Amino acid sequence: MKKLNIFFTLAIAALILIVSSCSKVLDKRDLTALQPDLVFGDSNLSVGYIDYVYNQNLPVWGGTSGTLADRSDESYGDNKYVEGSITIDDVTDFGTSLTATSSPWYKIRAINDCIERVEAGSISQTLKNAIKGQAYFFRAWRYFELVKLYGGVPLVLHTLPAVGDANKEAAMLPRNKTSECIAQIVSDLDSSALLLPGKWSSSNDWGRITSGAAKALKGRVLTYWASPEFNPTQLADRWEAAYQANTDAKTTLEANGFGLNPDYANMWYEEVNNPEAVFVTGYNNSSDDQFKKNNPFDNPTRPKVAGGSGSSNQPVRELVDAYPMKDGKQPGSGIYAYNAQTFYNNRDPRFYATIAYNGCTWTLNGTEYPRFWFYYAEGSTYAPFTADSKETSPTNTGFFCRKAINPDLPVSAVPYCGTDWMEIRFAEVLLNLAEAACGTNRLSEAYTLLEAIRKRAGIEEGADGLYGLQAGMSQSQMRDAILLERKIEFAFEGKRYWDMRRYKLFETVLNGKRRTGTTYTFQPSADIPTHDDFLAVRDNITLDSAYNNNMLLQPKEMDSYDINWQSNYYFFGLPQASLDNNPSLEQTTGWPNGTFDPLQ
């Protein structure tokens, strides 16, 4: 069991449990309260405290907010973001309570408390440095998650007294400029990188933050800061800072054994010491309520027939069509012919690792299905999935997401999946660097980095050695190629929504449109006139024959209205309760009575 798969549920309760195992503490301490000198005077308690910080701040599958695929061009779903009806009270990540454990400010207070108190403790300086380094990382992480949504927020870098009217008034801090927040985030990550090892020596510490992870997050932060959402005038110094940070991250990570996992499809199932995993949230397969920390992605994504609910993360046709062919060219532009009827032929290998389509081969629950069928036999009735089962509603879009769906997991274990989440993969470090190289007009380096990603994916090299990339791209063409590569490489990993935000793509990519799916319906042919006849041969004839002769493919609108993303969503407004609690806060411009400029 991995060290960081199990965390303390409540900080105080956990520390009391640890304290209660120590007789000298029982003899000399009042266990109704835990004194700071006790916590940071004991190495086990100190590690327990930083583990609590991990438990409070590690992202879930898809990132802190989840995959958000239904708000992008990956999946679909009715929601206020695509409907265009968000109010200031709908986005609550800012928090309206300082005492709720889910509030970012509660979490930041715990981190600040850790940073301040650990130095005064009596544990070794080596352990102090390790704890502070991890705490600095998570303070930066917590603030960046707020800045991504709102721009500048109040910077609270010390624990604030909580009792008394004067202290309450002193805690009513105004919003710092976005530039000030970014500077503090970068400073914390620099401190973290200086204090942490490039790689932890024990496999029991797998999942702890490393200096490379701190540098990789810094690279991500500065890449966002240079992007059009935050940098509409494209200030060159921001791109240069992003380039230097991402170069440093790549160098540090490679020096410590990190790199691209050679197996794109199966890298999710390599847990301890996965070279791709730079910043990782560990999950386990425990069914014990006290200790379980189960992956929240697999169950709702996996088809019902394989033990999941199959209700989430269903790819839309727009994502399916975005994948290049296996020569790296877009459909219809390379050496491989493209036919919309047999769209699955000769695609980028990442297509088959991510998209499950009607009739595909798919191993689930340890069983290889030679053909995974989900078409309509007639009317609204789905065909039997196998001879002895019937699926009534397998997928609305006509596709499933198969990325990170463990093929060997038995049905009984599906609710307790332990597949880890990689918040930052090494591939992202390379693509962040490629983007910054493009932003600084180092196009040759951007080519090299994209080629490395495509080579790992299994795309053919081609006679020109460019893995399907267009030769002689301009800076704007390279930028578009990088964003497309990110869309493919990170499908359903919670990156596309944020890429669309920071490049302000919603208006051009989605607005006024409706995302689509595909329905498959059996149709008779001269050789196979009835569905019963088709059932008898469907697993033995070629898939092309089944599609060309017996499958009617029709488009299906997934949205019930035209998408209407609003321009003020790029920086959300603060909830009214937050403004009421702290009169020093300014509302974001673009929202009612907004005066705070998030671009400063």
Q: What is the CATH number of the domain that holds 501?
A: 1.25.40.390
Residue whose tokens read 């917590």: 142
Cα 165 vs. chain centroid, distance in angstroms? 41
317, 330 contact by CB (below 8 A): no
| Residues 78/80/84/90 CA torsion (nearest 10 deg) | 180
CA distance 450 to 434: 7
360-364 and 399-401 beta bridge pairing? unpaired
Residue 450 belongs to a domain with what CATH number?
Answer: 1.25.40
Is 549 found in the same domain as 482? no
- pLDDT reported for residue 12: 41
- The answer to whether residue 432 is domain-embedded is yes
- The answer to whether residue 15 is domain-embedded is no
- The answer to whether residue 292 is domain-embedded is no
- The answer to whether residue 305 is domain-embedded is yes
Is 457 found in the same domain as 402? no
Residue whose tokens read 């198969």: 402
DSSP state of 15: H
- The answer to whether residue 589 is domain-embedded is yes
- Burial string for 129-167 (b: 16+ CB within 10 Å, else e) reads bbbbbbbbbbbbbbbbbbbbbbbbbbbbeebeeeeeeee
Is 105 found in the same domain as 94? yes
pLDDT tens-digit series, residues 49-81 = 999 999 999 999 999 998 999 999 999 999 999
- pLDDT reported for residue 19: 39
CA distance 402 to 398: 13
Is 440 found in the same domain as 406? no
- The answer to whether residue 564 is domain-embedded is yes
Q: How many domains is the chain partitioned into structurally?
A: 3
- The answer to whether residue 1 is domain-embedded is no
Domain limits for position 407: 300-411+516-557
CA distance 451 to 445: 10
Is 472 found in the same domain as 360? no
Is 540 found in the same domain as 435? no
Residue whose tokens read 């267009």: 470
- Burial string for 328-340 (b: 16+ CB within 10 Å, else e) reads bbebeebebebee
Least Cα distance to 196 among 50, 44, 6 occurs for 50
pTM equals 0.93
Question: Helix (H) and strand (E) counts for the chain?
Answer: 22, 10
- pLDDT reported for residue 310: 87
CA distance 540 to 534: 10
Is 140 found in the same domain as 167? yes
Q: Strand ranges (DSSP E) for 22-63?
A: none
- pLDDT reported for residue 36: 61
pLDDT tens-digit series, residues 294-319 = 999 999 999 988 899 888 999 999 99
- pLDDT reported for residue 20: 36
Is 46 found in the same domain as 148? yes
Is 167 found in the same domain as 67? yes
Alpha carbon separation from 566 to 92, 178, 306, 308, 488 (Å, rounded): 18, 21, 39, 35, 25
- pLDDT reported for residue 37: 67
313, 62 contact by CB (below 8 A): no
Parts of the chain with a pLDDT under 50: 1-3, 5-33, 388
DSSP state of 54: H
- pLDDT reported for residue 369: 86
Kindly give, in sequence order, each residue whose CB lies less than 8 Å from that of residue 556, ignoring residues fewer than 6 positions away.
397, 398, 516, 517, 518, 519
- The answer to whether residue 87 is domain-embedded is yes
